[in-house]
Every structure is written in C-alpha cells, then in structure tokens.
C-alpha cells in the first residue's frame, strides 16, 4: 500500500468515531480529504461541521455538508485531523498545510481529538523529520526569526504562502524537541507569534495509524 492508500484507510476508519446528530471538527490536508469523502456517506446523519481552513470548507460545501461558524456552535464532539509528525505521547507537529492556528482553535474546543496518520508520521522525538511551522504576523517576521535562532532553531520563511488569517509561516529547522510542552509555551510567548505548530499541551486522544498490516488504534490513558 502506498502513503495515499494508508491515508485513505485511516480517513475511513475515523467514521467509527462519529455519533449521529453531532458537530464534527474538520482538519486540513490530504488525509482529512479522505475523511471528508467518508463523512459524505453519512452527511444526513450528522448535524454539521466546523472547519479549520478555507480549503476544507470549500470541499465540505461542494459535497453539501453543512459548515457552521465556530462561534455559533455549543459543542464540537470530535475533531479529526492529520499531522506531520506524532510521538508516543500523542503530541504532534502540524502546519504543513499552513492551517495550524485554526486547527489549534478547533482542537481546543473539541471534546475528543482523533489524529489520522500513515505510519511515516510516527517519530520518537518531534522535529526529527520535518521543520516546526510557526504562524507569524508579517511585521514581526525578522524579530521572531531572531528569537527562534536564540532557541537553537534555523527559521526559513515559507515563500509564497499567506495563511487564511493573512499571516506568514516560518519553518524552523534544527530543533530537537525533547520538551514539547515547554517549547510550545516558549514560542507562543514571543510577541508577533500567532501560534506554533506544536500540539503538545492539547495532544490527541485517539491516534489511527495506517500501516501495511492495517489500521493501528492507540487510545490515550487518562
């Protein structure tokens, strides 16, 4: 099975976590795109969705799946999203699709976070295979970059990308993230940072991992 087939398998498996008449939080990316295809098959059974990006909103609407403004809903039952990396503590690096801030907001509201990934996303230590994205207010780009260098990172300006919120992305290389909760807090405190793509203090509750032997399910111990 190739990566896309593994992504499709977890996207469809996530349907098992959807209860009738609830509002579903929708992430962003190619794995989530498969989940949206699956959700389409039960669209008349759910109340609707809230979306983390214009891209996902466009796909949901094109399939006739209702999309609500987050400020108009009382509760988001589950949030389904992919990740760029996930560690054994179910903490993630996200933001490859530049949607990290809205993803973090919807994840914070949701009662349960279901992370759907193919096995290539599993790492022992975050930062091993991908840079860490940081969404930044444009006027603070150079200042934030300097502060990230002081933290040991090598920030790179993601060219030709403006987020749905009108901001820019710095991709930070060279970080060995041994204390994700501390680094998340530290970077979020830099003036000009909108949010960092470390999902550590709000980690996933369930992880569905697409492997060549089938979908592996990991549930957080509370």
Tokens of 210: 């697409």
Cβ-based neighbour number of residue 158 at 10 Å: 18
How far is residue 103's CA from residue 55's CA, in Å, rounded to a whole number? 12
How far is residue 168's CA from residue 99's CA, in Å, rounded to a whole number? 11
Q: Would you say 196 and 171 are in contact if contact means Cβ atoms under 8 Å apart?
A: no
Longest CA span, the chain: 51
| Location of structure tokens 């089938």 | 214
* One residue of 8, 13, 94, 104 binding ligand 5RP per CB under 6 A: 94
* One residue of 8, 13, 31, 170 binding ligand 5RP per CB under 6 A: 31
Among 103, 122, 135, 184, the one annotated catalytic: 103
Look up residue 124 and give its DSSP letter: S
CB under 6 A: which stretch of 80-88, 134-142, 164-172, 211-219 binds ligand 5RP?
80-88
Closer CB to ligand 5RP, 150 or 212, in the complex: 212
With CB under 6 A as the rule, give the number of residues binding ligand 5RP.
17
Indicate whether 155 belongs to the interface with ligand 5RP (CB under 6 A).
no
Is 5 a residue of the active site? Answer: no
* One residue of 25, 29, 127, 180 binding ligand 5RP per CB under 6 A: 29
Task: Name the residues that contact ligand 5RP, by CB under 6 A.
Answer: 27-31, 81-84, 94-100, 103
């Amino acid at each position: 099975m190739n990566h896309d087939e593994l992504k499709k398998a977890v996207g469809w498996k996530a349907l098992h976590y959807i209860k009738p008449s609830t509002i579903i939080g929708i992430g962003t990316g190619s794995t989530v795109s498969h989940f949206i295809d699956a959700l389409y098959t039960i669209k008349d059974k759910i109340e609707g969705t809230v979306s983390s990006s214009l891209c996902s909103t466009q796909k949901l609407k094109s399939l006739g799946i209702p999309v609500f403004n987050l400020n108009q809903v009382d509760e988001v039952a589950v949030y389904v999203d992919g990740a760029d990396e996930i560690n054994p503590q179910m903490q993630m690096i996200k933001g490859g699709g530049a949607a990290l801030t809205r993803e973090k907001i919807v994840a914070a509201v949701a009662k349960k976070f279901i992370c759907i990934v193919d096995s290539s996303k599993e790492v022992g230590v975050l930062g091993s295979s991908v840079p860490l994205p940081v969404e930044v207010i444009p006027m603070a780009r150079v200042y934030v970059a300097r502060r990230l260098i002081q933290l040991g990172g090598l920030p790179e300006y993601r060219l030709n990308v403006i987020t749905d919120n009108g901001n820019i992305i710095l991709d930070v290389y060279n970080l060995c993230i041994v204390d994700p909760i501390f680094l998340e807090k530290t970077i979020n405190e830099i003036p000009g940072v909108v949010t960092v793509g470390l999902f550590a203090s709000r980690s996933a509750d369930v992880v569905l991992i697409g492997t060549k032997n089938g979908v592996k399910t990991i549930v957080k111990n509370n």
